[in-house]
Chains A and B, each alone.
Chain A
Amino acid sequence: MTATTGPRVATAAPRLIYRRPELLAEDSTHYCPGCGHGVVHRLVAEVLGELGLGPRTIAVAGVGCAVFAYDYLRLDFCEAPHGRAPAVATGIRRVRPDAFVLTYQGDGDMAAIGTAEIVHAAARGELITAIFVNNGVYGMTGGQMAPTTLLGQKTTSTPGGREAALHGYPLPITEMLALLPGVAYAARGSVVDPGAIGKTKAYLRKACEVQLAGAGFAIVEVISTCPVGWGMTPRESIDWLRDAVAEVYPPGVVVDRTKTVPVAPAPAAAGSEG
C-alpha cells in the first residue's frame, strides 16, 4: 500500500523524541516505582551533557537512596559521610580549581545531620552546585520523619502525624540559604509533571552556569516523591506532591544574585597533579 490515499503516514522524517543522555548509564536503577530520584538523575545527565561538563565533573554523593547515583551517572564520584557532602565538595573545590563540582543530597542528609556543612559551604560562597532532593522523609532507612516532613504527615517515626509541639516545624533550607550573600543562586523545582520537570532542568542549568561564571554557591532544591516512604501509590504520591508539598515548598527561583555579585576569584591552589 502506498500513501497516495488516506492519511499520510510515512512521509515525515522520523523525529527523535527520546535518547539516553550519554552521561546516564545503561543500567536500570534500583529506585522504587514512582521515585523522583531517577528523574533528577536524568536531568543532571542532560544538563551536564549539554554544557559539556562531564569530563571535568567531580560529583559528591550524599548518603540516602541516591548514594548509588555513581552507578547511574557516568561521572567521577566521591562518596561523603552522611551529611558532609558540602564539606567534601569544598575539599575537592579548593585543590581542583579546574573541576566542575556537584553535590547530590537528600533532605535527611542536607537538612538534618548536614545542616552545619551546607550552611557553611554556602556562607563561604564555595563554587559548588548543590542538588537537594526533598522527598520529605528518610527514604533509605524506611520513611522516618525528616526536618522537611509536613505538619500532619504520617511517617514511620511520626505514626500519629507530625505535630509542631512535639516535632517542630518543617525546615525551609533553601529559603534559609538564600539569605546568605555567598549564595548566588537558589531555586526550587519539582518532578510533579513534564512542565515542572522542564523548569527544574532550566534551574539546574542556571545553577551550573553560576559555578562556571565563578559567581558563588548555587543550590537547586527539587521537591520529589517517595511513594514507598509515604505509604502511597506512585499516582497518589504525585497528587500529594502537587497539592500538599508544593504548598509548603513552592517551586520557583528563590534568589538570583548573579547580576549583583561580582565574579569571585577562582580558589587558589592546585592538587599535586597540577
Chain B
Amino acid sequence: MTRRVLMNGNEAIAEAAIAAGCDAYFGYPITPQAELLEWMARRMPELGRAFVQAESELGAISMALGAAATGARVLVSSSSPGISLMAEGMSYLAGSELPLVLVNVMRGGPGLGSIQPSQSDYFQATKGHGHGDYRVPVLAPSSIAEAIELVPTAFEIAERYRTPVMVLADGIMGQAMEPVEPHFRTLPPCAPDWALTGARGRPPRVVRSLHLRAEDLEAHNRDLQAKFRAIEAAETRWAEEGLTDAEVAIVAYGTAARVARTAMARARQAGMSVGLFRPISLWPFPAAALRDLAPRLRAILVVELSAGQMVEDVRLAVEGRAPVLFHGRTGGMVPTPDEVVEALRRAFLVNQPAGEPSFDPETDPLGLICAMGGRR
C-alpha cells in the first residue's frame, strides 16, 4: 500500500510539474502562491534545472517565453494581480504558439483585493488575459489529487497544440493540506522541430508574433482558430455526480464544487434530488454536455466564489432550456453548504404549477436566492 503524504496544493502542483519533466520555473512572490515558488527555489537547483525569481511577473512570463522558445518545458505561477501583468506575455505566447503551463492561484479582487481564496478571475482566465483573438485552455482541479493529475495533462495539451495552458486554482486549493498518494506522472522529453537551438546545419528559425501584412496575419489567425476548434473537439473535460435522477443540477468548479458536493449530500438527505455537473476544462467549456442535460432538469444552480462569471457560460450553453440560478460569495468569503442548500430549496420552487408555492428568480424581492442579488 502506498503511503499517503500530507501536501498543500502549491507543493503538490510543483512536484507534479517536476515529475512531468519541467525544465524551468520562473516566478515572483505573491500570496497565496508563494509556497509554490519557494518549493521550486529549493527543488529545481537540486535537480540541476532552471529557477529564477524574476523582477516582476512581466519579467517572469518573458523569461518563460524565452525558455519555451528553445523547446524547454516551462512552468510559471502567480496569483490574480500577477496574472494581470502576465497577460502581456500570454498574448505573445499564444501568438508565437509556444507551450507553457501557467498556474493561477486566485485571490479576491479587484485591485489589490485580498489574499483570501476566490474564483473572481474566471473571465480573465477563459475570455482573454491579454489582447488579440486567442484562447487558452484552462484546467480547474477541485482537489489536490486532481491537481496532481492535471498538471502533466496541462503540459501534454500545451505541447500537443503549441499553446499556453492555465491551471486555475484558488487560495484554498493552494494552501490547504490534504493527504495525497504521491503518484506523479512522468512525461517523455520533448524535442520540437521548431525550437530555437542555434542555426547549426539548418536554416535559421524565428519565433515571432508580428505579421505586418494584413493577409499574413489573417492567415495566421485562421490557423490559430483551427487549432482552437481542434482543442474544443478533443480537450473538453467535465465530471458528473448524481445526475441520473437529478431534478436540479449544481454547476460548480474548483473549491466551489467541493462545497456543492457537501450541499448536494445534505439536500438529498432532505429529499431533494440534486446532482453536480463539474466543468474541469473551463475553456473549452463543456457546453454541449450541459445543453443536453438541461431539458431533463427543473433548474440549474451555479455556485461560484465570485459575483457570477461562469454563470454566463452556463446560460449561453443551456440556451434557455432550463432556468439558471446563481449563488456566489466574493472577497474571500466561501459559501457554506447550508447557504447552498437554501439556494437549492428555492431552485425547486421555480416553474411550479399554478397554485403551488413557487419562486420566481426574476422578481424575488429579498434576493435570498443569491447573496449577490438573485438571478443575474
Which residue numbers of A lie inside 8 Å of B, CB to CB? Answer: 54-58, 60, 67, 70, 74-81, 84, 87-96, 98-100, 116-117, 119-120, 124, 267-273
Q: How far is the CA of A124 from the CA of B59 in the complex (A)?
A: 13
| Set A70, A78, A94: member contacting B69, Cβ < 8 A | A78
For B208, the chain A residues whose CB sits under 8 A away are: 70, 77-79
Closest 3 CB pairs of A and B: A91-B66, A91-B63, A87-B62
How distant is the Cα of A94 from the Cα of B64 in the complex, in angstroms?
10
Q: How far is the CB of A81 from chain B (nearest CB, A)?
A: 5
**A70, A84, A117, A271: the one within 8 Å of B72 (CB):** A271
Q: Are A267 and B50 in contact (CB under 8 A)?
A: yes
Q: How far is the CA of A94 from the CA of B67 in the complex (A)?
A: 7
Query: CA–CA, A55 to B190, complex, Å?
Result: 21
Q: Is the CB of B205 within 8 A of A76?
A: yes
* B204–A79 touching, CB < 8 Å: no
Extra pairs beyond A78-B206, A84-B65, A91-B24 (11, CB < 8 Å): A55-B201, A76-B197, A78-B65, A78-B66, A84-B59, A91-B69, A95-B67, A95-B70, A116-B55, A269-B48, A272-B71
* A92-B69 Cα distance, complex, nearest whole Å: 8
Residues of B within 8 A of A116 (CB): 55-56, 58-59
Select the residue from A58, A120, A272, A273 with max chain B CB neighbours within 10 A. Answer: A272
Distance from A51 Cβ to chain B, minimum over Cβ atoms (Å):
13
Complex-state Cα separation, A268 to B204, whole angstroms: 26
List of B residues within 8 angstroms of A76 by Cβ = 196-199, 204-206
Tell me if B26 is interfacial: C-beta within 8 Å of chain A: yes
User: B62 touching A81 by the CB < 8 A rule?
Assistant: yes
Once the chains are docked, how many angstroms separate the CA of A81 from the CA of B60? 12
The answer to the question of B191 belonging to the interface, with a C-beta cut-off of 8 Å to chain A, is yes
* Chain A residues, CB < 8 A from B210: 67, 79
- 29 pairs across A/B with beta carbons < 8 Å? A55-B200, A76-B196, A76-B197, A77-B204, A79-B96, A79-B209, A80-B66, A81-B88, A87-B62, A87-B66, A89-B66, A90-B59, A91-B67, A92-B66, A92-B196, A95-B67, A98-B198, A99-B70, A116-B56, A116-B59, A117-B55, A117-B62, A267-B50, A268-B50, A270-B23, A271-B70, A271-B197, A272-B73, A273-B197
A81 lies within 8 A of B89 (CB): yes
**Interface residues of B, Cβ cutoff 8 Å to A:** 21, 23-24, 26, 44-45, 48-50, 52, 54-56, 58-60, 62-74, 88-89, 92, 96, 189-191, 195-201, 203-210
Is the CB–CB distance between A269 and B24 below 8 Å?
yes
CB-defined contacts of B191 to chain A, threshold 8 Å: 272-273
Give which listed residue, B63, B199, B201, contacts A75 with CB less than 8 A: B199
- Neighbouring B residues of A99 by C-beta, 8 Å: 70, 197-198
Given contacts A80-B65, A116-B58, A271-B23, contact A74 B49 (CB under 8 A): no
A79-B198 in contact (CB<8A):
no
Please give me the residue from chain B that is nearest to A73 by CB atom. Answer: B204
Decide if A56 touches B198 in the complex (CB within 8 Å).
yes
State A74–B202 Cα separation when bound (angstroms): 11
Q: From A70, which residue of chain B is reached at the shortest CB distance?
A: B206
Contact of A272 among B45, B62, B190, B206 (CB under 8 A): B190
CB contacts (< 8 Å) of B74 on chain A: these are 91
CA gap between A119 and B56 in the complex, in Å: 12
The minimal Cβ–Cβ distance linking A217 to chain B, given in whole angstroms, is 14
A133 → B minimal CB distance (Å):
18
Contact of B24 among A54, A75, A77, A94 (CB under 8 A): A94
Please classify the interface of chain A as helix (H, G, I), strand (E, B), loop, or mixed, using the class held by over half of its residues. mixed
Contacts of A75 in B (CB 8 A): 199, 204
A79→B199 contact, CB < 8 A: no
Question: B58 contacts A84, CB within 8 Å?
Answer: yes
Cα separation A137 to B109 with both chains bound (whole Å):
38
Which residues of chain B are near A67, meaning CB under 8 Å?
210
Distance in angstroms between the alpha carbons of A124 and B203 in the assembled complex: 32
Expressed in whole angstroms, the minimum distance between the Cβ of A82 and any Cβ of chain B is 9
Pick the contact of A91: B44, B55, B62, B198 (CB < 8 A).
B62
Q: In the bound complex, do residue B200 and residue A117 qualify as a contact, i.e. CB atoms below 8 Å apart?
A: no
Which of A57, A90, A93, A117 lies in contact with B198, CB distance below 8 A?
Answer: A57
| Residues of A with C-beta under 8 A to B24 | 91, 94-95, 269
**B50–A84 contact, CB under 8 A?**
no
Instruction: Give the Cβ gap from A186 to chain B, nearest Cβ, in Å.
Output: 19
Compute how far the CA of A95 lies from the CA of B196 in the bound complex, rounded to whole angstroms.
Answer: 11
Contacts of A87 in B (CB 8 A): 54-55, 58-60, 62-63, 66
Select from chain B the residue with minimum beta-carbon distance to A76.
B196
B198 close to A272 (CB less than 8 A): no
Are the C-beta atoms of A268 and B45 separated by less than 8 Å?
Answer: yes
The one of B48, B65, B201, B204 in contact with A70, judged by C-beta atoms closer than 8 angstroms, is: B204
* Docked complex Cα distance between A93 and B196 (Å): 12
Write the chain A residue with the least CB distance to B45. Answer: A268
Q: In the complex, which of the residues B67, B88, B89, B195 contacts A273, with contact meaning CB atoms closer than 8 Å?
A: B195
How distant is the Cα of A218 from the Cα of B365 in the complex, in angstroms?
A: 68
Distance between A230 CB and nearest chain B CB, rounded to angstroms:
24
Query: Quick one: closest A residue to B201, CB to CB?
Result: A55
CA distance A56 to B44 in the complex (A): 25
Query: Does A95 contact B62, Cβ atoms closer than 8 Å?
Result: no
- Cβ contact within 8 Å between B54 and A273: no
Inter-chain contacts of B26 with A (CB < 8 A): 91
Shortest B67–chain A CB gap in Å is 4
B199 touches A91 (CB 8 A): no
In the bound assembly, the distance between CA atoms of A32 and B46 in angstroms comes to 51
Complexed CA–CA distance, A54 and B71 (Å): 19
A88 and B62 contact, Cβ closer than 8 Å, known pairs A76-B198, A94-B24? yes
